[in-house]
Structure 1
Amino acid sequence: MIHRRQFLQSSSLAFLAPSILMHSSQQVIPSTFNPISIQERKQRIEKAQSLLIKNNMRALVLDAGTSMEYFTGVKWYPSERSLLAVIPDKGELSFICPAFEEDRFSEINVISQQVRTWEEHENPFAMTIQLLKDLGIRSGKIAVEERTRFFIFDGLRKAGPTFQLVSGDPISIPCRMIKSPAEIALMQRANDITVEAIKAGIASLKEGMTPSDVSAKIAQVHRSMGAVHDFALVNIGVATSFPHGSSKAQILKQGDVVLLDVGCVVGGYSSDITRTIVFGQANDKQRKIWDLEKKSQAAGFAAAQLGRPCEEVDRASRKVLEDAGFGPGYRLPGLPHRTGHGIGMNGHEWGNMVKGNKDPLQIGMCFSIEPTIAIPGEFGIRLEDCVYMTADGPRWFSQPSPSIDAPFQ
């Protein structure tokens, strides 16, 4: 099994990056995708600043990671030598950079010339606090992005006892959860490529294959089409009843259920699609459960209406299964997890379709609808497609599977 989330290696510079689009005829034609522009990143920073003021916070501190890339375009490995970005409530974003990395950093930094460097014997957290003071910020709430590592949080706390360090969720989540047309276009391209990769994986199936054989084929197609391969989880037979796979050996034979959960990254944005088929001839029970899964997924889509709480998607999908005798709740046989998760730069983001999430669905939200039916000791069926919310309601990134015999339209 290939791990779902790997360190991505796409460039953060603004240029037209080559890609390839493959049709079912296997014809390969060159294409391009438009990366996120510098102007859009500056608009994101402006939105963050307005949210800082609204929430009575003075600045947002970002560790190297997805949120730093989201706001600045800088993709940086989070080593023990901290690279930090500081978005003040007013004024220009600044970076705190290891001095010996300054030249390398300057090659990818296109968002701000405000860079302070620290030598190996110096304290980057004290430098960050001094930066805030130089900006006229001497006290108040400093937001820290949720994935910031503890040693950075602790270092800031010790260096700046007059500040109150608080969660940056009220800033980063509203920014990242609502996708722009440019973000949705990148996600659409990633989904289009993943559709072709899954088609190739299914077409390659032969008796005696292992999950890793199929995963390798999918990864090859992702890369050949210009995407960054993210993951290809392939389960066979009884292992399909484990939502994220089994550690036991799996060898493909006639009549096996095969589940393929696959994603790639284009321009920093993710896809996530699952198809479940039968290798050979499906039996009556497999067809019945597959059809029920399709009905459950459709119910979740129908419930995804603007202004309605996210939990309604989960409730609608789960009700179909419970009415058919599965569950209730997370009990097996049935649906053992939430119906969907948010998606964007990370494969799993905020905006989960889960009981208790009262957040209303808004234009620009993107999420999966994937109500697994797991039957322990037998098999599992999962159909997963992601949607994005528009003024007219939800739209699919990938069209749902028509039937157990036809995984794609």
Structure 2
Amino acid sequence: MALGIGGSTPQQALSKLSDMTSGISPITLQEYQQRVSRAVDLMKQLDVEALYLNAGTNLSYFTGTHWYASERMVGAILTKTGQLTYIAPWFEESSLTDFMQVKAPVTTWHEHESPYQLFVNTLKHQNITQGKVVIDEATSFFIVDGLLNEATAQDIKITLSSSKPITAQCRMAKSNQEIALMQRAKMMTMAVHQAAASILKPGITTTEVKEFINIAHQKVGSNGSTFCIVLFGEATAYPHGVKEAQTLQENDMVLIDTGCLLHGYQSDITRTYVYGQATDRQRQVWEHEKKAQLAAFNAAQIGQRCEDVDGAARSYLSAQGYGPDYQVPGLPHRTGHGIGLDIHEWPYLVKGDTTLLQPGMCFSNEPMICIYGEFGVRLEDHFYMTEQGPVWFTEPAHSIDNPFNR
């Protein structure tokens, strides 16, 4: 049996966990204000008249206002003169004001009124009747469609396009505090991983392990798991799982992928190991996965392209007989994704992403090997970029016999 696998009851494992959130602070008002200023600078460079931030992570990133998107339009309009105006239903104004970190006026609409008309009128009030207006790229189509129709109805000559050149450019490189928050969140999830591994026993179900992981994430100080994938046996070959729950048997491969939030920032870690005695086949594939992960890490150097990191992992796997490209047995998806307020965000470690690596960028590294009908192995750790190269948030697993480096 691998080190740290089995031997504890859920109660015993939970008793060893404690709150891990002390001594770490959320993003400050000053940092939010700096983000707004950075967006304004980019708007001027790109000749953008106004930026719309819809409820969600872009609104949260720039203003500290945590609000979730729904069928009602809630967001903020930022002009290139630096004026910020929130837009929301009238009955939400008080709540929205309470959530704001960056304070600004709120323009409101009643339920029978059009938020799109209010949006266009707000632009006109700011003397914006032509030019480029960029819309949060995560905004639902019905909002964009409503804005287009209203702009046409009022005969204003604005063009609408994606805010990605501004929002992604601001968010891709993380600040020291963002990195510190993710570092702590990942430490919390790693502690949960170790606890979950310790409760495994024949007959336990994937559902039971997921429920334990959610409670364990609460025990270390989060609100629970933001997501959780637990797979046993042949199901481990499917990156995001299968429909049916599984029951653990001796010598099954185990794959657990989970994460939590800390002050809005994400963790996301996967460990794969064997419950019982690993076969030669399981050991070989596990080692290939570990070396592919290391190849990607070593390729991540300042000034290299994101796609080069994916290419390094894929080249190694191809040399071992996997693939080619996205074919299985092999790596059927990208090597990694950016991470921050969103679990998956720009840039991506994938062919075609020519973004140059720069300090502050944060990525998952998870070049999974999928062998349908047998098992899969995914080792997922994250790293951040410095001037000297990549730095791991969490230490990769040493071996299939020592997945938690004990």
TM-score band by shorter chain is over 0.9
1:163 counterpart residue number = 158
Give yes or no for contact 2:359–2:385 (8 Å, CA) kept in 1: yes
Distance 1:69 1:201 in 2: 32
Give the alignment of 1:9-408 within 5 angstroms.
31-161=22-152, 162-228=157-223, 229-408=225-404
Summarize deviations over 1:55-96 as a string: whole Å, max 9, x none: 111011111111111111112232222112001011321111
SS of residue matched to 2:23: strand
Give the distance between the partners of 2:335 and 2:136, measured in 1 at CA: 27
3-state SS of the aligned residue for 2:193?
helix
Answer 1 or 2: higher relative contact order, Cα 8 Å, separation at least 6: 2
Percent identity over paired residues = 47
Q: Report SS of the residue matched to 2:48.
A: coil
TM-score (norm 2): 0.92
Please tell me whether the aligned partners of residues 24 and 196 of structure 1 are also in contact (alpha carbons under 8 angstroms).
no
Measured against aligned partners, the alpha-carbon deviations of 1:14-66 in whole angstroms (never above 9, x if no partner) come to xxxxxxxx999657677232111111111111111111111111011111111
Aligned to 1:3: none
Match of 1:360, as an amino acid? L
CA RMSD of aligned residues (A): 1.7
Deviations 1:359-385 (A, max 9, x none): 110111111110111111011111000
- Give, as a single letter, the amino acid of the residue that structure 2 aligns with 1:346: D
Partners of 1:26 and 1:118 in 2: CA distance: 47
Aligned residues of 1:23 and 1:196 also touching (Cα < 8 A): no
Gaps of 5+ in 1: 1-21
1:153-203 deviation per Cα after TM superposition (whole angstroms, max 9, x unaligned): 122112223211111111111011111111111100110000000001100
TM-superposed deviation, 1:349: 0.6
Question: What is the rounded CA distance, in whole Å, between the counterparts of 1:244 and 1:372 in structure 2?
Answer: 11
- Equivalent residue of 1:35, what SS? coil
1:29–1:373 CA distance, 2 compared to 1 (3 A): closer
SS in 1 for 2:27: coil
From the superposition, tell whether residues 119 and 397 of structure 1 become closer, same or farther in structure 2 (CA, over 3 Å). Answer: same
1:125 is matched by which residue type in structure 2?
A: Y
Task: Specify every segment of 5 or more residues in structure 2 that has no aligned partner in the other structure, as ranges.
Answer: 1-12
* CA–CA distance in structure 1, aligned partners of residues 75 and 117 of structure 2: 12
| Length, aligned pairs only | 388
CA distance in 1, matches of 2:95, 2:352: 45
